[in-house]
């Protein structure tokens, strides 16, 4: 019995903008809501898939696995938190400097 696996894309994916993909030309572009037919999940970071309903001449290619995408999202959230915290620290330093300038000018 042959079992086929299909997944619905929950995010847009542009392979040429992905720094992690081994070969951007081998990536499959997709958008939120697209249905992807999973061909292989042998690599835990990069699945082979093709867009459902794509012309037969459009080959299967690489798409990020859910685990890779979750890792990428978590890393982006951590980086954003660090930037936000750094921005807050800078604001606090600026606030202190301004208060000191005001005291010195009295």
User: pLDDT digit of tens for each residue in the chain (106 aa)?
Assistant: 888 999 999 999 999 999 999 999 999 999 999 999 999 999 999 999 999 999 989 999 999 999 999 999 999 988 888 887 766 655 666 656 656 555 555 5
Instruction: Name the pTM for this structure.
Output: 0.73
Q: CB 22: neighbour CB atoms within 10 A?
A: 11
Instruction: Give CA–CA dist 70/60, Å, rounded.
Output: 22
**Residues 2, 36: Cα–Cα separation, whole Å:** 17
């Amino acid at each position: 019995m042959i079992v086929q696996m299909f997944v619905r894309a929950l995010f847009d994916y542009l392979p040429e903008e992905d720094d992690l993909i081994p070969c951007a030309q081998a990536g499959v572009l997709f958008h939120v809501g697209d249905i992807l037919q999973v061909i292989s999940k042998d690599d835990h970071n990069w699945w082979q898939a093709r867009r459902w309903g794509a012309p037969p001449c459009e080959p299967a290619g690489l798409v990020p696995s859910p685990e890779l995408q979750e890792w990428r999202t978590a890393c982006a959230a951590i980086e954003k938190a660090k930037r936000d915290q750094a921005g807050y620290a800078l604001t606090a330093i600026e606030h202190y400097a301004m208060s000191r300038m005001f005291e010195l000018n009295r």
